[in-house]
Structure 1
Amino acid sequence: MDELEKAHWVAFSHVKGIGPSRFQKLLSHFGSACNAWNASEKEMLLVLGERLTYEINQQKKKLQPEKLYREIVAREIQVLTLEDHNLYPPLLREISNSPYVLYCKGDFYFQDFKHFLAVIGTRKPTPYGLRAAHILSRSAAEKGIVIVSGLATGIDGEAHRGAIDADAPTIGVLGSGFDHLYPRIHKKLAQEILEKGGLLVSEYPPSTKPSKESFPQRNRIISGLSHGVLVVEAPIKSGTMITVDFALEQGREVLAVPGPIFSRTCEGSNLLIAQGAYPVVSVKSIYDFFQLPLETATREEHLEPASLAEENLLQLIPFDGIHKEELLLQSKLEESTFYKVLLALEIKGLIGESADGRLFRY
């Protein structure tokens, strides 16, 4: 594809309402994006109708396709189209409504990697969920599996951090354009992704602001880029479960981390396992899914309580936290023994302490 034609693909991506199916309709009718952009209003009305023809005419008054394209490229934003066969992500090309234009930042080439895993979950995870997302993502990344997620707060962000901790590339899929990175608190995380050789990708032009509609659409790209979608923690009604629906439609495998049966944040992931999702009970589960050998132990050793006292105290500590004073009363231990056992559990990394002083179980 020459630069002029690509510039017109970019121009159409700026028109509200011209998604993958309507763009393909334009290509089929006019033969090229350039021809479609320069078509008469009468011709366009026959293909798209009054509303979309009006939207296109409004953009024609504002945009100069070639100038627009050069400005985007000058900002070190790579533009990939479905016609860029050696660069466009192969897995994403397989889905029914592949984005016809992708805007990318980062020195990353899909053809250099074999395995892609989406790691997703709630924006309000428990400490258990955060730890699971970080450890599983880090260990997978250490094996060369590229972690894909949505750069959101909670599980998404922790999945990206796990890959970064492994000094490995990870892919952040945005629900907005690069000029309005959301959430803003992840601006530093986005920069770290780029520094580790990862990729930021969006189907939205750089000037696009985040919206309620853009994030569900973004989710189909997260699953579309991946061989499987791992749900760490998710309520039954959540954006995570929307991504699961996309994954199933796309023929992707759904994986899930089991969680406490009394935790609302684990209701969705537990239900998925009950319905046949691939259960991830350890790092080895991910390696087995991708048929990768477990050659060496990961950095996260599996530690267990060493005594009955440690086991009994651990069982009293909920995943959502408990204050030490309350735990001491429930344990019925001598105070000195209580703090000795508590210290042993902390050293082993089996429990942690939140900012408000509550002890929680990982």
Structure 2
Amino acid sequence: MKDLPFWVAFNHLPGIGPVRFQKIIETFGSASDAWKASPKDLIHCLGEKIVEEILPVKLSLQPEEVFQKILKRGIHILPISDERYPALLRDITYPPYLLYQRGDFDFRSSKKWIAMVGTRRATTYGKKVARYLARSLAEEGWIVVSGLALGIDGEAHYGALEGEGKTVAVLGTGVDIVYPGSNRGLAERILHQKGALISEFVPGFGPQKESFPVRNRLISGLSLGVVVVEAPLKSGAMITVNFALEQGREVMSVPGSIFSYQSEGTHQLINQGARLVHNVADIVEELGFLASPHSKMKKKTALPDLDEDEKELLNFLDISGCYLEELLTKTGWDSGRFYKVLLSLEMKKVIQTFAGGKIGLV
């Protein structure tokens, strides 16, 4: 594509998003012709204010030089006209006209895409749920999409990697900048396991507050549906949900504790009609897929046979777990009966002991 260096050059100019770039192509026929156009012609297309803003930057750029510099860094450039461009993303309103990608992942390799999002301030419960769901979905061949943020996003990526699957991280920075920096190791693991880091922002673009809500439309746009694990009422995850609804994507929500601030948003979504996610099969069913006959998913979501004592003890465990002595007091049993049932549940891999001595569900 001979015009691509000029696409990249326009992408470096402030204020040239999908809408204005489309108008540029419609007006001039190609990005190269637009780049060579006079300021007067550009003003006729974009308006005087925008042209005044972009001209100093435009005059400092050499399109072919900028283009080659990016390629030499091993960064792939995907224009919307490229067959490798994500098909689901191409169908949203005003998709990015360019994507930058690190990693050799091919977006045509799967039709099973799921986004998982949530708060950066995730609880232990939320982190465990996100990792479990993502791992199980990856084992079933799903591509897990998230934003490489702290909390739920990071756990979703880690879970997909543990499931020996692929995961795609959508960045609110250029693909050469990992934010937060503490997730650089995770980013390298994603690339090592043949996943991808993608962004619509040019390489070298650093973290800015307003860029992260913008990237959230890509997280939902890449996916068939969005699973919200934990989210306050006002959060980036809820912004992603709004984009998902606009794009016609399915929205699913994991319930949490009624005492948890981090679950207020997820509970509101359920009240408004989002699919309640109790296990991985709920997600797959909502998206119109069936688990394979030998699916690991079915094995993992089925509880073993439990006797009445075992069921009764489980009723005393909530999502936050319970300390051993507290649990014994709640049951009102003698210690012999209590420890016998506890051991049986541990052997059946229904409960486990967490750091700090709490007993919780596996």
Do both proteins adopt the same fold according to a TM-score greater than 0.5, normalized to the shorter chain?
yes
Q: Conserved in 1, the CA contact under 8 Å of 2:255 and 2:263?
A: yes
- Aligned with 1:78 (options 76, 79, 89): 76
Between stretches 222-231 and 351-360, larger displacement belongs to 351-360
Give the Å deviation of 1:353: 5.2
What is the CA deviation profile of residues 226-271 of structure 1, one whole-angstrom value per residue up to 9, with x for unaligned ones?
1111112222221111101001101111122233333332222222
User: Under a length normalisation based on structure 1, what TM-score does the superposition of the two structures give?
Assistant: 0.89
Give the Å deviation of 1:132: 2.3
Task: Summarize the alignment of residues 192-231 of structure 1 with structure 2, pairs less than 5 Å apart.
Answer: 192-231=189-228
Task: Summarize the alignment of residues 244-323 of structure 1 with structure 2, pairs less than 5 Å apart.
Answer: 244-288=241-285, 289-298=287-296, 300=300, 302-303=302-303, 306-323=306-323
1:154 aligns with 2:151: yes
1:103 aligns with 2:100: yes
- Aligned with 2:58 (options 51, 57, 60): 60
Please give the secondary structure, in 1, of the residue aligned with 2:32.
helix
CA distance in 2, matches of 1:127, 1:344: 25
C-alpha spacing 1:29/1:192, structure 2 compared with 1 (3 Å): same
What residue ranges of structure 1 are gaps of 5+ in the alignment?
none
Please give the secondary structure, in 2, of the residue aligned with 1:181.
coil
What is the CA deviation profile of residues 177-203 of structure 1, one whole-angstrom value per residue up to 9, with x for unaligned ones?
123211212111111111222111100
Q: Conserved in 2, the CA contact under 8 Å of 1:130 and 1:158?
A: yes
User: Under a length normalisation based on structure 2, what TM-score does the superposition of the two structures give?
Assistant: 0.89
Give the Å deviation of 1:359: 4.6
Q: Conserved in 2, the CA contact under 8 Å of 1:127 and 1:319?
A: no
Task: Kindly tell me the number of residue pairs found equivalent between the two proteins.
Answer: 359
- Aligned with 2:141 (options 140, 144, 148): 144
| Aligned-pair identity (%) | 48
- Aligned with 1:41 (options 39, 42, 54): 39
Q: RMSD of aligned C-alpha atoms?
A: 2.4
1:17 aligns with 2:15: yes
- Aligned with 1:32 (options 27, 30, 33): 30
C-alpha spacing 1:294/1:267, structure 2 compared with 1 (3 Å): farther
- Aligned with 1:92 (options 64, 89, 92): 89
